[in-house]
Structure 1
Amino acid sequence: MQYASPLALGLISAAVFAVHLAGIAAAAHALMHTRTSQGTVAWVFGLILLPYFTLLPYLFLGRKHFYGYVELRHARAGHRRQHAQTPAIEAQRFTALSNMLGNEFHGGHRLSLLIDGEAAFAAMLAAVASAEHYVLVQFFIIHDDHIGGRLQAALLACAARGVHVCVLYDGVGSHGLPQSYIDRLRAGGVRIHPFTTRRWRNRLQVNFRNHRKIVVVDGWRGFVGGLNVGDEYLGSKPPLSPWRDTHMELQGPAVGDLQLAFDENWQWLRGEELTLLPPRAVDGTATCLIAATGPADAQESCSLFFVTLIHAARRRLWLATPYLVPDSAVFAALQLAVFRGVDVRILLPSRPDHRTVFMATTLWAHEAVRAGLRVFRYQPGFTHQKVALIDDDVSVVGSMNLDNRSLRLNFEVAALNIDRNFAQEVQQMLEKDFAKALEIDKNDYQQLAYPHKVALHVARLFAPVL
């Protein structure tokens, strides 16, 4: 029998000691920097007791530093506060949001509701085709398929006639985008880059993704919503088709804040500030706020955004979201809304695009129904829209899901709109969606088999990273 030499044993012991020492150091870092007590307990005990399994995941999932980005946001927020105006009366109930985000409400907008992929892409591609100065494009997912090819051709045509084109895509969300697609755009004069930091100290932070969907043309036409670039968003890929989604176009001063959200990402990644045009004045009546949230914020800005919306509801709160994995603050706010007598309804898909998230959503849906909320499952296909309707005059269209990833981990963006006519359009849209949905009954959970219930609870254990 052969035994390890003293030198080998010494090296193994040194390696074990080094791993445990690194685990203790990482645990100290988690103790000081993890925001939630649950996350802190999980990381600290895991890093101290099982550093062999938790140290590497912590480097990718637990660390949270955005060198340069925070300073950039603070500088711009300070500039905005110096030039802030007194918000309109109808927007004063959301003053806390304006203060938190560093953006102000602007009046005088023209809004267009874009229902599903055909309408949304027709409007965005038409706007791109009319561009005279620049086009800013940002999506979480871009596919090299039919609609991806149409976008590519439109951007190349812009660049060919001298329009400046800047494109950002998320490196994880668009992991399947071939290099040939990117190379062709660059060869045609389009500046395209993945959302990955240029600073080496941030390179391990793969857990924080850019989920925003932004298109701005010449500084005065802006688009925001739930659609990415892929044929599935046109409803052409079963089993999730027909795909249900919502986007919107806004024209007016808030487009300036939408393009600044893009420019912050661009400047952080590329180290250069874009030359942007001021929005044009239009004859609209809507008041709008651009809510750009993300993990670099000093607070849980997306969660607080939802909490503020929910607390503002007095008569109605309708939400459409593909995922329902809320944090305790959001769920408590929803419960309080029910106690206030608010008509709280949530529209969810009936088909899963991510099995574990769907199972966790199912458990939360049953708990929401038992708490007095009305929850519906959309039947025709998959619903991916992120829409909120508050009372008779407030609506939200954007990229924010009701899950931990949007609430804490992703960079997100949405337009909060105060306008009765636009809210009525949103109401009519959602009424049609609810008419095609089945309501979850409070007794449905009891009819599930016990192994199914266990599986739902196990799935919810993964809520912090879903």
Structure 2
Amino acid sequence: MPDLHSIPYLVGAGIVLLHVIGILHVIHAIMTVRTSQGTIAWMVSLIAAPWIAVPIYWVAGRSRFSGYVRARRSDDAELLKLSDDMHRRLREYEIKPDDAFGRAAQFLGGLPFTRGNELTLLIDGEETFESIFKAIHAAEKYLLVNFFIVKNDRIGTRFKDALIARAKAGVQVYFLFDEIGSHRLSRSYLNEMKEAGIHCSHFGANRHWWSRLQINFRNHRKIVVADGKEGFIGGLNVGDEYLGRDQRFGAWRDTHLKLKGPSVQAIQLVFIEDWNWATDEVPDLEWTGQEHTADQVAAIIPTGPADPADSWQLVVAEAANSAQERLWIASPYFVPDGGVLTALQAAAIRGADVRILIPEKADHLLVWLSAFTYYEQTIPFGVKLYRFKKGFLHQKVILVDNKLACVSTANLDNRSFRLNFEISGLTPDPVFVGEVAEMLENDFGNSEPVKVSDFTARAFWFRLACRVARLMAPVQ
């Protein structure tokens, strides 16, 4: 037991040691954090209060998922061969985009635009789940399933039972979920699936203990692939609220995308990279693309913290930079960073019809409050903000002029820009673009335009709460 006289010295030594550890973390932040604002914030907190900031830094401080990067670029011959073979087989369907935005999106996603696809716009939960369940029931060889949120409620039980039925019929089912988004998913739910022969894994299953501390990185993708023939991506997770059954939100406005054709092989590759990261396994799948008479052009754009740059942030900024006539974006969260905000302002200034559709209701309070602080930085520049009134808006859709439409899992916030693994479907097909334009016209008809005074006229404490919430945007 230490002498009482030595306790102050031990306390002092402990404080010095903590500050040394904080300074070492500052060096790491300087070398790895992507934004100067984030670096400065971490520097101040790590030096001033290392006993609080160091543990938080381990959980939320890194902006790149290094382990995933190493796995994806490793000497895994099987995975690399699959990627090379897929690109080779898609070459006969490949289309070179004729616009700057398409070329930029293809470069950032690393996957080509292909012809020979059939695209179906799925509006809201009933239509989406009806189509997904139809594909599940028709699967004969395998099903690839990845969701951010899966709940053990009515639709979640139906979903589980559908997968179990196909597994018992001899279909290979691979079920991947995010352990943070699906943290309430019960062990009994997963055990039922495993007992039926379903391959189940959460996204962080293969991480070392220090990587598991990085809960800030989340797999936000929503993917279903049936036999390599049909693929689904978009905004809907598996839960009753996505069907409008939650009394807090009422009607739930969302958008999903069904694809057939060569683009499905690109979706498979995205799933396989995630599955390989989680399990060290590469399932045997069908990699021959099937051309469809609809012959629609599409590209799959995966983005995430394993990319060398902030790919989704660059996609959105380039969409704004290339828009000449209109840029319509629907997103449940509107917390743009400086680059995206400047691009939106510039697009509106040069005369493009820039509209941002966001929800009236809040599902995550901090991001909802943060959005108010952008009124003064968007509306005076000509950006039109709309609040959706008919239930909760959760869709992630972008429309650029009459040229390109995008249905995505990604939002307009820092988490999607830098921290989440996302997937988007992009197409220049005029028929599909027209369908998206008509859909968004209806959504704007169920919305009200926002005025700057809707924020500035609010009570001081509300405005203060909004400003404080915005300061926490990097970790919301």
TM-score (norm 2): 0.93
Structure 1 residues 50 and 438 mapped into 2: Cα distance closer, same or farther (>3 Å)? same
| Aligned residues of 2:375 and 2:451 also touching (Cα < 8 A) | no
Shift of 1:45: 1.9
* Aligned residue in 1 for 2:61: 62
* Structure 2 counterpart of 1:111: 119
1:232 alignment partner in structure 2: 241
Correspondence 1:3-18 to 2 at 5 A: 5-6=4-5, 8-18=7-17
Q: How does 1:15-414 map to 2 (within 5 A)?
A: 15-64=14-63, 66-74=65-73, 76=80, 79=84, 83=88, 87-90=95-98, 93-200=101-208, 201-278=210-287, 279-414=289-424
Partner of 2:457: 447
Query: Is the 1:307–1:333 contact (alpha carbons within 8 Å) kept by the matching residues of 2?
Result: yes
Aligned residue in 1 for 2:77: none
Q: 1:6 to 1:173 in 2, by over 3 A?
A: same
CA change 1:92–1:79 in 2 (3 A) is farther
- Identify if the C-alpha distance between structure 1 residues 361 and 89 changes in structure 2 by more than 3 Å, giving closer, same or farther: closer
CA offset at residue 53 of structure 1? Answer: 1.1
CA RMSD of aligned residues (A): 2.0
Distance (Å, rounded) in 2 between the aligned partners of 1:37 and 1:464:
12
Q: Distance in 1 between matches of 2:229 and 2:375?
A: 40
Q: Is the 8 A contact 2:97 2:103 kept in 1?
A: no
Aligned length: 464
C-alpha deviations, 1:259-304, integer Å up to 9, x for none?
Answer: 1111101101111112221232211222111111111111011100
Residue 404 of structure 1 deviates from its aligned partner by: 0.7
Contact 1:80 / 1:102 at 8 angstroms: preserved in 2?
no
Q: Which moved more, 1:67-76 or 1:449-458?
A: 67-76
CA contact (8 A) 1:91 1:105 kept: no
Q: Partners of 1:384 and 1:325 in 2: how far apart?
A: 15
Q: Which runs of 5+ in 1 are unaligned?
A: none
Q: Structure 2: where are the runs of 5+ without partners?
A: 75-79
Alpha-carbon deviation of 1:115? 0.5
Deviation at residue 324 of structure 1 after TM alignment? 0.4
State the alpha-carbon separation in 1 of the partners of residues 26 and 339 from structure 2.
Answer: 26
Q: Which moved more, 1:186-195 or 1:446-455?
A: 446-455
Greater shift after overlay, 363-372 or 378-387? 363-372
Aligned equivalents of 1:65 and 1:440: distance in 2?
35
Give how far 1:342 is off. 0.8
The letter of the residue matching 2:25 is A
* Identical amino acids, percent of aligned pairs: 41
CA distance in 1, matches of 2:366, 2:380: 22
* Cα 1:30/1:163, change in 2 over 3 Å: same
Q: What is the CA-CA distance between 1:82 and the residue it aligns to? A: 7.7
Alpha-carbon offset, residue 316 of structure 1: 1.4
CA distances 1:412-433 after superposition (whole Å, capped 9, x unpaired): 1110111111111111111111
What's the secondary structure of 2:373's corresponding residue?
A: helix
Q: Whole-Å Cα distance in 2 between the matches of residues 163 and 91 of structure 1?
A: 41
* SS, match of residue 303 in structure 1: helix
Taking structure 1 as reference, are residues 16 and 275 closer, same or farther at Cα in structure 2, changes over 3 Å only? same
- Structure 1 distance, partners of 2:213, 2:32, is 16
Distance in 1 (alpha carbons) for counterparts of 2:7 and 2:22: 22
In structure 2, give the amino acid aligned to 1:138.
Answer: N
| SS of 2:432 mapped into structure 1 | helix
Q: Contact conserved, 2:101 with 2:318, CA < 8 A, in 1? A: no
Assess, with a 3 A threshold, how the Cα gap between structure 1 residues 6 and 176 changes in structure 2: closer, same or farther.
Answer: same
In structure 1, C-alpha distance between the alignment counterparts of 2:376 and 2:296, rounded to whole Å: 37
